[in-house]
Amino acid sequence: MLHEFTGVKRIAYFSMEIALANDIPTYAGGLGVLAGDTLRSAADLSLPMVGVTLASRAGYFQQKIDGMGRQIELPEMWDPALHARQAAAKVAVQIERRRVWVGAWVYRIEGLTGGCIPVLLLDTDLPENSVEDREITHFLYGKDAAYRLKQEIVLGVGGVRMLQGLGFEIRKYHQNEGHSALLAMELLNRHKYSQRDLRPGESPYDAPAVRSLCIFTTHTPVEAGQDQFDYDMVDRIAGGDFLELTEVRKLAGDDRLNMTRLALNLSDYVNGVAKRHAEVSRHMFPGYEVHAITNGVHPHTWTSEYFAALYDNMMSGWRHEPEQLVRIEHVPNQLVWDAHTNAKQRLLNRVLDTTGCALDPAKPIFGFARRMTAYKRPDLIFSDLERLRAIAKKQPFQLIMAGKAHPNDEGGKHLIEQLHLHARELGEDLPVVFLQGYDMHLSLDLVSGVDVWLNTPLRPLEASGTSGMKAAFNGVPSLSVLDGWWLEGCVEGVTGWAVGNAQAGNESNDVVDLYAKLENVVLPLYYNDRAGWISVMKHTIGKNASLFNAHRMIRRYATEAYL
C-alpha cells in the first residue's frame, strides 16, 4: 500500500495539528492551517514529503454561542476510517513505564498535477491499550500538562518509529513548532558513539549528526507560550525508555524541559515565520541563528470559486505558479468587481441563513476572524462606541466576526461575550454579526466575501498571521496593525492600510489611528472612488497573493533548509 511513497527519500513534516480538510477537525487554528497549506503546496509541486500528526479523533471542539454570548464547547468526533486507510504497522512507546501501542492512518493529499503526499495520523485508540491510553490521541490541545506530554511522546517518538516501521526513508525531520521536539531525542538514541571511543564524562550521543537532520520552525514570540514540563513529571511519564535526564537537562533547560530549547539545540536550521518574528526570536534566544521564511497560504484552497475562474481565464498557470498573479493589471476592473460581488453575496446569504440578519451588499463589510484571545484584541475597534457610531452614521459600514477561544482561555471567552454586548449596544447604527464555529470553509467565505480584512494584534505577538494573505487571493485589502507578515505586505494606500506604527510600546495610539484611517481614508475611498478602490484590490492580488503563498514558502524551505 505504501510502496508508492517509500521509493524516494522524503522530508518528514511533524505538526501537532494539520488542517487536512474542513470536515476533518484535526486543527485548532493558524498553526494547523499553515501545516495543511505547506503539505498541499508540496503536493502541487511534487516535493517528496510525508506529514506526521495525531489522529485527534475527538477533534478540537465544536463551538456554539448561547443567548448571552457565552461559548459552549461540544466534542467533534470524526472517524478516520471514512477518510484514510489503516497502515499495516504498529509501534510501541513507553509512557509511565508501560508500553503504549501506536497505530497510524494514512491520509492522501492529492496535488493538482499528480503529486501526492501521505500524512500519518497517529492513533493510540487500539484494543491492546488501556482505556486511559486509548484516549491519548483523542483531544487536540485537551486536558492537562501530563496529557500533553503523553501526546508529545506519541507524536515525536512514536512518529519516528512509525515512519521507520512503514519503510519510509527520511532525508530531514521538520518540526513545525516545538510540540514534536522529542523526535530529536529518539534520533539521538539512534546516533550513539560506541562506548570504546568515549572519554569519561563525554556524552554518548552524536548530537551533530542529529542536528544535521533536523529543522525547527518556531511560531511563539513569548516565553510563556512555549511548552514546558517539570522534570519530575518528565521522569514519571517519559522516564525509563530513552535518554537519561542528565542529558535531557543539558539540551532542554536546567529547571524545566523546554521543548523550544530542545528543538533549538538539536536543529541545524531554525526559522521564524516572518522577518520581524525572526528578529524577535533572535532576541529571545541569543546565540542561535534564526532565519526568516515568511509564511504563505495555499492558492487553490484560499481562492473563492469566482476569483479562481477569473484567474483560470486570464492567468491560467496561477495554481502552479502564483507569481503569475502579478499580471492582474491585464484584467478589466469590471471582472474583478463582479467576482468580488459574487463572493460577497455568497457570504451575505450565509449570514442570512445562519443568523437571520440581512446585511446590505451596497455597504462595505469589515471582517475580523481569528483565535479569540487577548493579544489579538478583537475588542480594539469597540474602544470608543460613541466615536465608532459617529463614523458609521456618516459613512455606514458593517462588521462580521468569528473565532473560537481555547476552552481554558477565560479571557478569550470573556472577549466573545464582550463582542456580543457591543453588537447589541451598537444596534442598527453599526450592524455587527458574530458567526459561530470558525473553520476552513467559514474562513474562505469571510476572507473572500468582506470588503476589508481587519487585524489589530498587540505588537510583536502576531508571529505572522495568515488570514490576511488568504484575503489577498480574493482581492480583499487589509487594514491592520503593522506586525507579522503585514510589515512586509503593507504598501500604504496601495495594498491596504496600516494601523499605528511599527514600534511596540505605543499601543494607545492604535485605536486613534484605526478610527482616523476608517473615517478619512478607507470609507471615503470605498464610497467616492470606485476605480481607486478596485486598484487597491488589484494590488492586493498582484503584489501580495503573488508573494505570500505557500508555493513560494515551500520552495524556500526546499532550497534553504531541506537540500
Ligand X SMILES: *Cc1c(COP(=O)(O)O)cnc(C)c1O
Q: Using CB under 6 A as the criterion, which residues of the chain lie in contact with ligand X when the complex forms?
A: 29-30, 33, 370-371, 438-440, 443, 465-467, 470
What separation in angstroms does the CA of 66 have from each of 411, 412, 417, 438? 17, 15, 10, 15
Q: What's the min distance (Å) between Cβ of 30 and ligand X?
A: 3
34-67: string of b/e by CB count within 10 Å (b at 16+)? Answer: bbbbbbbbbbbbebbbbbbbbbbbbbbbbbebee
Joined together, the cell numbers standing for residue 318 give: 496561477
CB-nearer residue toward ligand X: 305 or 425: 305
* Length of the chain measured in residues: 563
Q: What's the min distance (Å) between Cβ of 507 and ligand X?
A: 19
Q: Are strands 214-217 and 170-176 parallel, antiparallel or unpaired?
A: parallel
SS3 152: helix
CB-nearer residue toward ligand X: 29 or 412: 29
CB-nearer residue toward ligand X: 370 or 413: 370
What is the rounded CA–CA span in Å between residue 372 and residue 413? 7
Q: What's the min distance (Å) between Cβ of 369 and ligand X?
A: 7
CB-nearer residue toward ligand X: 26 or 467: 467
Q: Are strands 49-54 and 91-95 parallel, antiparallel or unpaired?
A: unpaired
Q: Which residues pair with 315 in a beta bridge?
A: none
CB-nearer residue toward ligand X: 104 or 461: 461
CA dihedral for 214, 32, 375, 520, sign (positive or negative): positive
Contacts of 386 (CB under 8 A, 6+ apart): none
CB-nearer residue toward ligand X: 30 or 296: 30
Q: Residue written as cell 494601523?
A: 499
Of 128, 127, 105, the closest CA to residue 118 belongs to: 105
What is the Cα 128 distance to its own chain's centre?
34
Q: What's the min distance (Å) between Cβ of 29 and ligand X?
A: 4
The DSSP output letter for 404 is P
Contacts of 248 (CB under 8 A, 6+ apart): 185, 231, 234, 257, 262
Are the C-beta atoms of 45 and 554 separated by less than 8 Å? yes
CB-nearer residue toward ligand X: 161 or 370: 370
Q: Which residues pair with 121 in a beta bridge?
A: 53, 105
Q: What's the min distance (Å) between Cβ of 7 and ligand X?
A: 34
CB-nearer residue toward ligand X: 159 or 496: 496
Backbone angles phi, psi at 537, to 5 degrees: -55, -45
Side-chain half-sphere CA neighbours of 498 within 13 A: 17
User: In what helix (H) or strand (E) does residue 446 lie, and over which residues does it extend?
Assistant: helix 440-449
CB-nearer residue toward ligand X: 306 or 486: 486
What separation in angstroms does the CA of 309 have from each of 291, 326, 442? 37, 17, 20
Answer whether the bond into residue 378 is a cis peptide, omega within 30°: no
Are the C-beta atoms of 124 and 151 separated by less than 8 Å? no
Of 37, 149, 71, the closest CA to residue 371 belongs to: 71
512-533: string of b/e by CB count within 10 Å (b at 16+)? Answer: eebbebbbeebbebbbeeeeeb
CB-nearer residue toward ligand X: 33 or 343: 33
CB-nearer residue toward ligand X: 34 or 58: 34
CB-nearer residue toward ligand X: 120 or 454: 454
What is the rounded CA–CA span in Å between residue 235 and residue 241? 10
What is the rounded CA–CA span in Å between residue 149 and residue 262? 14
CB-nearer residue toward ligand X: 59 or 465: 465
CA dihedral for 54, 19, 478, 69, sign (positive or negative): negative
CA dihedral for 42, 44, 45, 49, sign (positive or negative): positive
Q: What's the min distance (Å) between Cβ of 147 and ligand X?
A: 23
Joined together, the cell numbers standing for residue 392 give: 458609521
CB-nearer residue toward ligand X: 30 or 158: 30
